[in-house]
Structure 1
């Protein structure tokens, strides 16, 4: 700051008019075709200098500024140091710290294969990535395909990260050809793509784990009738056995008169039944 003030006084030391010198700084991360750091110097609302991490040098934008750098190379050296050493490194570390704090480094997206049922499309799902400049597609034999592919939108998560998915309809693909397919997730600013091979062993699904409830109207009538008839017959058999054992247990006739009496009693009992 002290050197900036000296620079301002040096340029217009003989002028009693007040002047302003402003610096505008932009730092970014993961933005395609845009430098990570941009610095702009504006003197009395006039652009006098520019630097960014793509050109890696300070460019004077006014003739008098060029002449100043030529006559005093120390000013050019100081501005280069500010742009590409002090300010650039400071803002780069600041952005990295913020991304770490909010878990938005873009380095840890999760990609998985999902399928609702055996006849449903296979969904390649990515979540937890940042920023939202990402793309995902299916490939067959290493070539991107568009037929039987349904691309979903990029949606926000509650933590500020994003998610997306792309579905592949495999109804016409024989199981032996599944190995020819893979899903590719590309995040802007990240060098390596995440490639997931289509493999039944890694597909996440919940079929077979959900209990099946049958409505009463869907229960077949035949088995129910059969169960009711069977229970009724079993009840009659048990009742008849109980009556037979009660009538014959310990009542064997000792003589003819007892036998006649027993028979009469049995007839009466049968009549009551």
Structure 2
């Protein structure tokens, strides 16, 4: 995959039922594209709640429930921490380039870490993943409390991080992170427990392209989208996409169906969308319900929204971990 597009493997841990999640995404990029050199995005249950980038250099709340429950001094403290992360990530992009024998071009260095907690069973889990140019670089194995390096260039980082850093990160992910997650869930209870039904549309760029069943605006993120042919589940010629985040804290998902005009005339195709906000939605495929470019609809805008959402949910990177606060981990040079 090419880093210039900033479209990487999306490693979002979606949860359901009584489960909750806290995630942080750090991304450092080389100069040359219209994107901040460093970003720090925090999500609770898939909803963005904090943000920092190297352009504004300020850590800011993105939802009222965190803004109204945290003292003003908090934002000064985490801003200083994020500025330290920014400096480290800029340095690490250069270090990674050296390890991969690269002298130029656009490159990315990323980190995703977080924890999950089930408020019904009490079960917890955690993860830390790193990557370079959209590919896996190194990750933490909680069971063995050691790092896994899938590429030779990450071996030196594994050697640095195994031991004290790995032990700290395991403690952070299994205890400190979970404690903060519980606080955040309590702060945002009314918002995080809301149920918003999806808006479903059938989209097609031209008569020969796949038909897209697009569900958007729903919350929480757990949704099932499937295609049926004459009332039977259809698996062939169906491509279900990832669940992505919208800017307003809701989510979107799509499922493509490859079908010829002849097949559509002979059979009834239905998109089935299931979400906990209400009864399943059955969208029968008919010419009248399809929105296309030729009809003057906003299909290009919707597709562009998918790309923008993906930028927020990019994942994976590498650096030695030290504790700087009970809120975030710190990332030093590789």
TM range (shorter): 0.3 to 0.5
- TM-score for both structures, normalised by structure 2: 0.32
Q: Quick check: which one's strand share is greater? A: 2
Q: Which has the higher contact order (CA 8 A, sep 6+)?
A: 2
Compare CA radii of gyration and give the structure with the larger one. Answer: 1
- TM-score for both structures, normalised by structure 1: 0.39
